[in-house]
Amino acid sequence: MKSDNNPRHIAIIMDGNGRWAKRRLLPRNFGHKKGVETIDRISRYVFDKGVEILTLFAFSTENLRRPKEEVSGIFELFSTYIKKNLPDMIEREIKFKVVGDISVCDDGLKTLIADAEKQTEKFNRGKLNICFNYGGRADIVNAANKLIQEGKTVTEQEFADALYTGGLPDPDIVIRTGNEHRISNFLLYQMAYSEIYFTSTLWPDFKEKELNEIIADFKKTNRRFGNIEQ
Ligand code: IPE
Ligand code: IPE
Ligand code: MG
Band of the pLDDT at 1, cuts 50, 70, 90? Answer: very low
Q: State pTM to two decimals.
A: 0.97
Asked whether the beta carbons of 56 and 129 are under 8 A apart, the reply is yes
Q: Using one digit for the tens of pLDDT, what is the confidence trace for 64-78?
A: 999 999 999 999 999
Residue nearest to atom 2 of ligand 2 (CA): 15
pLDDT of residue 228: 94
* Ligand 2 atom having least distance to the Cα of 184: 14
Candidate from 19, 28, 77, 134 with most ligand 1 atoms within 8 A of CB, to mutate: 19
Strands of the sheet containing 9-13, edge to edge, are: 94-99, 126-134, 53-60, 9-13, 173-176, 195-198
pLDDT at 41 over 80: yes
**What domains lie within the chain, and their CATH numbers?**
9-219 (3.40.1180.10)
57 lines ligand 2 (CB under 6 A): yes
As a whole number, the mean pLDDT across the chain is 96
d(CA 56, CA 43) in angstroms, rounded, equals 9
- 164 in contact with ligand 1, CB cutoff 6 A: no
Atom of ligand 2 nearest to the CA of 203: 5
The alpha carbons of the chain give a radius of gyration, in whole angstroms, of: 18
Over residues 207-228, the pLDDT tens digits come to 999 999 999 999 999 999 999 9
Convert the pLDDT of each residue in 168-193 to its tens digit: 999 999 999 999 999 999 999 999 99
DSSP per residue, 179-210: S--S-TTSSTTTTTT-EEEE--S-GGG--HHH
DSSP state letter for 172: S
